[in-house]
Chain A
Amino acid sequence: MTSKSIYIEPVNEKLARNYIGGSGFAARILYDMLKPGIDPFSPENVIVIATGPLTGTLWPTAGRYMMASKSPLTGIWGESHAGGHFGPELKYAGFDYLIITGRSEKPTYIYLNDGRIEFRKAEHIWGLNTHEATDVIKEETDPNAHIACIGQAGENLVKFASVISDYHRAHGRIGIGAIWGSKKLKAIAVKGDGEVEVADHERFIELVEDAHERVLKHPQARDLARYGTPLLVGYKQSIGELPTKNHWTGIFNEARDLTAEVLKEKFWVRDRACFSCRVQCKKVYTIKEGPYAGIVSEGPEYEAIYSFGSNLGNSNFPSIFYANYLCNLYGLDVISTGCVIAFLTECIERGVIGRDEVEGMDLRWGNHEAFIELIHKIARREGIGDLLAEGAKRASEKIGKGSEYYAIHVKGLEVSGQDGRTHRSIGLSHAVASRGADHLRGLVTVDQLGYEEVAAKRWGSDKLPDICNPYSERWKALAVKTTEDVYAIRDMLIVCWYTVSWPPIYWLEDFAKILPAVTGEEMFGKVGELLRIGERVVNLERCFNVREGITRKDDRLPRRFIEEPMPEGPGKGQRVNLELMLDEYYELRGWDKETGIPRKEMLERLGLIKETKDLERMGKLPA
């Protein structure tokens, strides 16, 4: 970005063999290019935007792409994925991945058009929201171009700013939008008429047709198609894990107003889908009356309904819909935004902060007008919004007075819509995931949802029934480890969380069939080899974090989940014994129990030789 120079090279074969694509490429590239300790907003930080070998093919859910960088919110490994059509278009334009370095002096956007790369001035769109900016860029490039851009939140370096592609698809977490803002990169537009060719077309099509059939016939995939992720609202409430009032409880007394059935009946307009998806989980809603009437838009997903709904004690769906819409306009992560508001609200409700200290806003559970006002302030960094724009961790450190207890985050990333107290494996997963409190890297679903057959197949029937008991720590380290390794492969391919993580339709054996057909590399046909690659990337991301100073002491949970038993519902009295699971997890991972740092033998087994030496030089390698 600094010198507006371009360098195009073919994909390195060794990189492809060892890291497949997507998150794997990003982990390798960022580890190699970033010096430890750099300021995420400095020109030294790098953005990787990557597709995978399945992107742009007919595999169901192959419409995704990812971005990675050192996160400004957490200061560690940061990645975020999104669906839609941008990823496939990037491949049709002739690019597998992009590496963006430096920092532009003036606002700029990039136009990728059939192999060509152009830097264009963006002064005239700097300051516009994502919808306005996308409109202008479409006008200036191609009406059918796909556009990823930031809104004012990214420009203002809000630490959880998102990148929005094609108006509604979000790279939400870890503040990737703020990195764009720091580089003065407003947008990337892409248009391509090219093609994606696979190694063995006939074999690939056979597997794809079977894959589509399996989605089509799966009852839970059908439910997902019908209702989208809001489906989870009713379910989570029934098991007492719908995070409510800043993760205080798992029961929201007004959840019935937010169930998928109600949304479908009252607000639903139509369905949409990402590229090549058989699920079509995107729901378009509109509000017919009241202050938010007239907007037609995709979303909100379950995570936004939890973060602006139950977690704020708010059952007014139009306000949740509007909050989600507003976050997309400004380019804000819906999870972190809702969570920092929940943090502040609880601080006020409990008297940690005086009601007179928040600029006249009437912040109390359920008062959605105040929440909406706060979203504007966060995006514009106005008043107390400026403090919240730093994320719950930093905000609470600045406020002090015991407010730290109500900052529900891990490693600086606000906790997504799960709770380890009623689902032990997600407790462990939130604590150890490479980007902080994350529901996408290692959320085991088969234990909580009672897929006993699937669990037996993956981990052996001798682990039943404990492995499927969400209130027991037993076997959860094993479940989380395997799941992280397989999800790492999922994120290298790149395919969607849905159909892999839930419902559990495809797993390693399916990837081992499809990858050789796509790439021609028969080595990918071995399940063991794939697992090793998954493990390699999990360890590489861990090494990235260890270089930044992460150790066992950071693999923690908010004290609330450890000390405060679930107050009500089916999981009443439950809390997490994290240390027990951590010991087992490190053991299985080959990481030192004391420090949580990968051991030399493990790194060498995975071919991470350079990393071994780096950690040794830094004096971090366990003895």
Chain B
Amino acid sequence: MEHANVFKPSISRIRIVKNDKLSIDVPLICIQCEVPACVHVCPVNALSRDEETGIVKLDMDKCINCSLCVIKCPYHGVFKTPSGVTVKCDLCDGDPKCVKYCPTGALQYLEISPEIEVKRGKSKEKFLKLLREYCLEKAALRIAGVGGE
């Protein structure tokens, strides 16, 4: 919503993959990796990590919408919109709206510290485990916009 002034989850930069039967919800969002797979795979250097802020940024002028980053991101944190544009979280330039709306504190925006880094690592593992264990990979890829028929 923040980037488009409409309510449209299909262009959102944070999405949720669900197994409603077992009541499992896994958020899909860029976790701003230190060694990002998306940056590594980008053929035109449209993705880069800002060493100062840690934000992994996508330069829309350079992006050729090849979807490699969408496929390669292990956390399914890069998305295609229905019109084929690649989008990812930019932390709303330091004021993330998702955190503002989160009712439970599941989403938090914190200064990095060694403890937080450990916590973040655990969350990452937990997400990957949930995606694998509950067979959500296919659904997650569909949500990210690259899972065809």
Contact = CB atoms under 8 A, between A and B. Distances in A.
A195 B20 contact: no
Interface in A265-312: 269-273, 277-280, 284, 296-298
B103 interface: yes
19 contacts: A88-B9, A92-B10, A142-B142, A143-B138, A144-B142, A194-B10, A195-B7, A195-B8, A195-B10, A196-B6, A196-B7, A196-B8, A198-B7, A212-B101, A216-B103, A269-B23, A273-B103, A279-B103, A296-B23
A116 B5 CA distance: 25
A144 B17 contact: yes
B34 interface: no
A297 B11 CA distance: 30
Contact of A167 (B5, B20, B142): B20
For the complex of A and B, list the 5 residue pairs with the smallest distance between their C-beta atoms, beginning with the closest: A195-B8, A193-B10, A143-B139, A193-B82, A195-B6
Interface string B109-132: 000000000000000000000000
A272 B103 CA distance: 11
Given A57-B7, A195-B11, A197-B6, 10 more contacts: A58-B101, A88-B9, A131-B21, A193-B10, A197-B5, A197-B7, A216-B103, A269-B23, A278-B103, A284-B23
A193 B15 CA distance: 12
A225 interface: yes
A201 interface: yes
B20 A168 contact: yes
B101 to A, nearest CB: 7
A271 B5 CA distance: 29
B23 A58 contact: no
Contact of B104 (A134, A192, A271): A271
A56 B138 CA distance: 25
Interface residues of B, number: 24
Contacts of B21: 131, 134-135, 167
A279 B103 CA distance: 8
B89 interface: no
Contacts of B104: 271, 280
A216 to B, nearest CB: 7
A201 B82 CA distance: 22
Contacts of A143: 138-139, 142
A97 to B, nearest CB: 18
A404 interface: no
A134 B29 CA distance: 27
A491 interface: no
Interface of B: 1, 4-11, 17-18, 20-23, 25, 82, 101, 103-104, 138-139, 142-143
A88 B8 CA distance: 10
Contact of B20 (A142, A166, A225, A279): A166
B93 to A, nearest CB: 18
Contacts of A216: 103
Nearest to B23: A284
Contacts of A201: 5-6
Contact of A56 (B5, B7, B11, B25): B7
B7 A280 contact: no
A14 to B, nearest CB: 26
Contacts of A92: 8-10
A143 B17 CA distance: 10
Interface string A141-154: 01110000000000
A272 B7 contact: no
Nearest to B17: A144
Contacts of A167: 20-21
A168 B103 CA distance: 22
Nearest to A284: B23
Nearest to B82: A193
A143 B18 CA distance: 9
Contacts of A134: 21
Contact of A168 (B6, B17, B23, B101): B23
Nearest to B143: A144
A437 B1 CA distance: 41
User: Which of A166, A193, A225, A277 has the most C-beta atoms of chain B within 10 angstroms of its own C-beta?
Assistant: A193
A216 B103 CA distance: 7
A93 to B, nearest CB: 11
Interface in A406-464: none
B11 to A, nearest CB: 8
Nearest to A283: B23
A272 B10 contact: no
B8 A194 contact: yes
Contacts of A194: 8, 10
Contacts of B142: 142-144
A92 B1 CA distance: 14
A271 B82 CA distance: 31
Interface string A51-64: 00000111000000
User: Which of B9, B10, B22, B143 has the most C-beta atoms of chain A within 10 angstroms of its own C-beta?
Assistant: B9
